[in-house]
Every structure is written in C-alpha cells, then in structure tokens.
Amino acid sequence: MKRQDELGLSEELLQLKNANSAFLGDGVALQSYDHYRSDKRFADENNKIFRRLPHAVAHSGALAGSNAFLRAEYAGVPLLLSRDDQGRAHAFVNACRHRGMQLVEKQAGCVKRFTCPYHAWSYGTDGGFMAAPHFDQGFAELDKAELGLRRLECAERFGFVWVTIDSSDDLQFDEHFAPIADDFEALKIAGLVVVEETVLDIKANWKLLVEGGLEAYHFKVAHRNTIGPFFENNLSTFQVLGEHLRSVLPRTSLAETDRTDAAFRLLDHANILYLMFPNTQFLVQQDHVVWIQANPRAAGRTELRVRTLAPAEATEREDAGAYWEKNHRITCATLAEDFAIAEGIQRSVNAGLDQSMIFGRFESALGVFNDTVKRCLAG
C-alpha cells in the first residue's frame, strides 16, 4: 500500500471513530437464502466464476526446481502442475489423452516424464506427448504433436502459480490483477514462504466464508474471547479495487499511535484483508500474511485452506518452528469461530425456507462482493 493511502485510511478510520460510525453504504441490502443452497446457482458459479477467473492453485515454492510437479483439484477439475527443465510452470488437466485415466496419482514429486498407469502413454514435463506402447500399430493415423496433455492458462505472479481453467473469454490476467498489484508489491508477498498449512472441510457455502472477513460488526460479539478486545467496536472501511476488495479493521491501538512517526505502519494497528475475487483472501498481519482459500466443493460444502506465509529470513531464526506453529494455531483458533458461524448459517439456509438475510449499511462490503458475483453470473 502506498504511504499516502496508509495515512489516508488511518485518517478516515479515526474520523469514523470520532463520529462513532463505521463506513456506511447507501442502504440495507437483502440476499436470498437460495444463493447459498441452490445446486443450479452453484453450477453457474462454477462455470462463470471459478472456472473463468485465475486461481492460485499453489505457492511457487511448492513447485520449486526443474521437473517438480504437484497434483491439485479446483472447480471440479483434476489439475497437474509441473515445472519444465527451463523453469517454466505449466498447468494441465490431470487426465491421460488415451482414455482419460488420472495420469498422476502421487501428490507431488520430481520426474522427467509422466507415465500413465493404465497403458503407459508418457508425456514430458512440458505436457508434450512422448511415447505409447504399440503406437504405430494402434494409432498410426494420429498426429503425435496433437496428443499432448490438455493445457490450461498458467502464470506465476506474486509468488503463486495461477491457473485459469476456462480462458475462452478475453479476460486479461494482468488487467485482472492490476488494481492490487502495487499493494502486493509493497507487501513483498512474492518473497514469502509457506510455513504452516491447515486444510478444513467446512459444511457451508463458499460465499459465507468470504463474507465473514468483510465486516467488523461481529468482532466484539463472536470473537469476544479471542481477538475482539483488541479491536474497535463495529468500525471498518473498505475499498473496491477492480473486482477485488481491501477491507480495513482498526485495532484500538490506532487511536493511541503517533501517525507522524516515520516508523508508523497501518498494519501494526489494523487487520488489512485483501479479497482477491472470488475466493482468495490475504490477511496481512504485523510480521506475516495469512492466505485463506475457500475452494467450493458443493453449494453447502467448502474446502478451506489456511496457510501462514512468512518472510524467508524469518524462518531461519532459532525458534522459527515453534514460533510459526503457535502463530498459526492462534490464527486457526480465531478463524474456527468464523467457520462455526458459517456452518450455523448454512444449517438455517438448508432448512429450505423462502427467506433472505439482511446486510446493514456497515456491512456494505458484503453487498459489493455479492454484486460482483451477480455481475459475473449475468455474463
């Protein structure tokens, strides 16, 4: 974040505090329960949002070195990421071109070629077809150059490997990320490494998990036994950055700090959360970043990945293992409160009643997020 933005946001938050008001949207908004439980709606979101927008399938560090590979799944598609011997990252559908067998079963590793366990067709780490037993007898009329793995659009940015499953429309990768690129560069996100990871299976719609991070209204209530006491009561603001959002929730320490001090940093006195639309959140903390991904599995089910990212040099300190483990445990304990709430809401939603939830004026970031979802669905 630029210095002037950091100071501007601090000023805005303190003015809001003095006025005893959060940033307010235009009015109350309603959101139908059906948006969180409808299978049709979920299938639409899968096709028009998850498959159409770039997703950070892996941290670049998980695909380090020539011939590294890893397997993943996103939006219902089995994926294979690889790095060729030139160091370039690739993404493919993890399916053999012969009869569709899952090509790679191992989670991760390092190989020079991928060999299908069914009839041994083999492929290079760049996805090109290499060989098949009895090829000339059975497949002579096929062009080997056309038999490579199905390739997906793949780019490395900010230290992550981004994959777009359906890149048939004209969404430009760099344009999509341009509104947050300066902030991410200033935060040196690309230099961070994954130090801890937790994977959870949450019985709630992915949007509920995103929405939980976009308002401060619940902090003093739902987080009263954990982080609530450190934050201002129902005080937050947010900015729309393209399709993404930056949400800022001040701690009580902001009002007590000298902002003219050159050492002043907003992130020491606020939770700064970036929602990379649609479902990736980066929660910026004083000495690390929490990377949260809400990977949709079904209308009422989400795989939640929570990773702590830390500067590489901070992993070399003597107590690094214990320090980051403890940090991650505290993060997960607080987030568990949000996840339990999302599951509680989902149970209400699943009851099948024709009802809507209500977003108050200080919850307007939720309305903005849902408007973006609706815009994507409308095409």
Strand-pairing partners, residue 302, are 202, 296
Residue 130 · residue 122 · CB < 8 Å: yes
Residue 160 · residue 280 · CB < 8 Å: no
Tell which one of 211, 243, 338, 363 touches Fe ion (CB under 5 A): 338
Q: What is the rounded CA–CA span in Å between residue 150 and residue 90?
A: 11
Residue 362 · residue 24 · CB < 8 Å: yes
* DSSP SS3 for 112: coil
Backbone φ and ψ of 80, nearest 5°: -130, 120
96 binds, among ligand FES, Fe ion, none (CB under 5 to 8 A by kind): ligand FES
* Type of residue numbered 345: I
Q: Of 31-39, 95-103, 201-209, 234-242, which segment contacts ligand FES by CB under 6 A?
A: 95-103
Tell which one of 58, 63, 91, 116 touches ligand FES (CB under 6 A): 116
Residue 238 · residue 24 · CB < 8 Å: no
Peptide bond into 278 cis (omega under 30): yes
121 binds, among Fe ion, ligand FES, none (CB under 5 to 8 A by kind): ligand FES
Question: Is 102 or 226 the residue whose CB approaches Fe ion more closely?
Answer: 226
CB of 51 to ligand FES, least distance (A): 24
Tell which one of 88, 99, 188, 326 touches ligand FES (CB under 6 A): 99
338 binds, among Fe ion, ligand FES, none (CB under 5 to 8 A by kind): Fe ion
When asked if residue 211 is in the footprint of Fe ion (CB under 5 A), the reply is: no
Q: Which of residues 120-149 bind ligand FES (CB under 6 A)?
A: 120-121
When asked if residue 335 is in the footprint of ligand FES (CB under 6 A), the reply is: no
Strand-pairing partners, residue 192, are 311
When asked if residue 215 is in the footprint of Fe ion (CB under 5 A), the reply is: no
When asked if residue 118 is in the footprint of ligand FES (CB under 6 A), the reply is: yes
Task: Give contact residues for ligand FES (rule: CB under 6 A).
Answer: 96, 98-99, 101, 116, 118-121
